[in-house]
Structure 1
Amino acid sequence: MQTKKVLFVLTSANKAANGKITGQWMEEFAAPYYLLSDNGVDITIASPKGGAITVDPLSLQPQFMAPSVERILEDKVALNRLQTTLKLEDMNDADYDAIYYPGGHGPMWDLPQNEKSIALLEAFHNSGRPTALVCHAPAALENVKDVNGQPLVKGKKISAFTNSEEIAGNTTDMVPYMLEDMLIEKGADFVKGPDWLPFSVQDGNLISGQNPASAEFVGRKVLAALGIDIATPQEA
């Protein structure tokens, strides 16, 4: 079987408007990265600016130290890839079978208006290829359109970081808007599970997850959509 290729799109943002350090949430990158790569998927990592990305320091604190995070902190090859991401502008959607956006607050600041990101998301989704995002990364869908020129999320089931999680986490000053509100305003059928527990949803080829704990389940749905079979544990 031909090797499947997945494009990971990361954020180049490293500060929120309030000046606090933000960036990529490590578990949301690491969990799908290992899930896919361990199952034979070839991963390319790109970001708007290319080069080194910033990992949100909070995501490396002990309370967020998921097994995938522990693993990547000992993985010099993977860590080097986060320091040498390719430029998003140079990516050709035809080279990949699926696209995945991990979250963190960073994606809310540099991806919604990024024309290349918008074009890639439209190309993947409108051609029926798996298009996956988790936590705050669905902000990248804000200006993405379907083949009829309507918001891509309109009428589709989608999950993302919820208002209640943003409030409970005391991070409302880290975002330009409440993500749940934006998606609903765009016409999405917003679905969610209990705060902080794994929850993901698939509507056609659009795959989304609610929070960091959901990243592995998003990765599993991507594998399934690519025709790669692994055991799927029950999720909340």
Structure 2
Amino acid sequence: MTKVLMVLTNTTKFDHLNRATGVWLSEATHFNEVMAENNIVVDYVSPQGGYVPLDPGSIGSDEMDDTNWQFYNDANFRRNALARSLKPSDVIPSDYAAIYYAGGHGVMWDFPTSDAVASIAKKIYDNGGVISAVCHGVVGLLPITNSDGSKFIAGKKLTGFTNEEEAINKLTDDVPFLAEDSLKAAGAVHTKAPAYTEKIVVDGRLVTGQNPQSARGVGEAVLTIIGK
């Protein structure tokens, strides 16, 4: 049985702004749909385990397509992904062919500081698996290091949520840092498409997507690599 591990945020609100946040639903569901279509089991982990909030913006009427409704109405998804996600200590990395970091603004606070999740990701990669991420979820790549202490993403080609897209959100000054800037500062080779258009970058067994529009494409690229 092929399994993939999805990483979700525990962050419920912005730090200095009275605005709720969490996982961006479509970034979980559109990737998940690809896995479900190919009989791949998805497990869910978060930095703290347990409750995973949904970003309210991701369940507005304009965002709720058929895929989102399918998973939102699925009791198993709500229970396993949103109510009782795994703690990092619950995870056996060798069980998984890939790890996928879903986004949403909440990840900006807990993904970059989760060395436990980063360790899981590196073990999956070292076992021949895939590391993948979409949108703000790419900041989960920042704490992943090589055995010599160097940054995992240094010199690697990738993409992620852009400064332009954050400016369109009018949240540039409300996030702790900008995803695009942080990737470049870590030595990654960052490329991007026009705002809110699909872009997928594959560099060996690293797969990244720029924005919510890229979540399904990331899933399809991961699928190709793991050979399903």
The C-alpha deviation readout for 1:141-195, integer Å capped at 9, x for no partner, is 2222124432111111111000000001112244210110111111110011111
Do 2:94 and 2:127's aligned partners in 1 also have CA atoms closer than 8 Å?
no
Q: Which residue is equivalent to 1:69?
A: 68
> 2:135·2:211 contact (CA, 8 Å) conserved in 1?
yes
Partner residue of 2:219?
Answer: 219
- CA deviation string 1:213-236 (max 9, x = no partner): 1000000011111101xxxxxxxx
Matched residue, 1:171: 171
Q: How does 1:64-143 map to 2 (within 5 A)?
A: 64-81=63-80, 82-143=82-143
For 2:118, what is the secondary structure of its paired residue? helix
SS in 1 for 2:6: strand
The CA distance in 1 between the partners of 2:36 and 2:107, in whole Å, is 23
Partner residue, 1:233? none
Quick one: which amino acid aligns to residue 189 of structure 1?
Answer: V
> Secondary structure of the equivalent of 1:86?
coil
> What is the rounded CA distance, in whole Å, between the counterparts of 1:158 and 1:12 in structure 2?
25
Shift of 1:102: 0.5
Q: Tell me what 2:155 maps to.
A: 155
Cα pair 2:112 2:143 within 8 Å, conserved: yes
Count how many residue pairs are aligned between Structure 1 and Structure 2: 226
5+ long unaligned stretches in structure 1:
229-236
SS for the counterpart of 2:62 is helix
* Alignment check: 8 A CA contact 2:114 2:143 kept: no
Please tell me the residue identity of whatever aligns with 1:217: G
Contact 2:115–2:144, Cα closer than 8 Å, also in 1 = no
Q: Tell me how far apart the structure 1 counterparts of residues 112 and 206 of structure 2 sit (CA, whole Å).
A: 17
Looking at structure 1, the residues matched to 9 and 116 of structure 2 have their Cα atoms a distance apart, in angstroms, of: 13
Q: Report how far residue 67 of structure 1 moved.
A: 2.8
Is residue 24 from structure 1 mapped to residue 23 from structure 2 by the alignment? Answer: yes
Partner of 2:202: 202
One-letter amino acid of the structure 2 residue matched with residue 92 of structure 1: I
TM-score norm. by structure 1 comes to 0.91
* Separation in structure 1 between the aligned mates of residue 154 and residue 190 of structure 2, nearest angstrom: 10
Contact 1:105–1:174 at 8 Å: present in 2 too? Answer: no
Report the more deviating stretch, 18-27 or 138-147.
138-147
8 Å CA contact 2:115–2:143 kept in 1: the answer is no
Report the equivalent of 2:50.
51
Query: What is the 5 A alignment of 1:5-16?
Result: 5-16=3-14
Indicate conservation of the 8 Å contact 1:7/1:45, yes or no. Answer: yes
Q: Offset of 1:73 from its aligned partner? A: 2.4
- What is the letter of the counterpart of residue 53 of structure 1? V
Matched, 1:180 2:161: no
Partner SS state of residue 44, structure 1: strand
The secondary structure found in structure 1 opposite 2:198 is: coil
Once the two structures are overlaid, the 10-residue window that deviates more, 63-72 or 3-12, is: 63-72
Q: C-alpha distance in 2, partners of 1:143/1:52? A: 23
What RMSD, in angstroms, separates the aligned Cα atoms of the two structures? 1.4
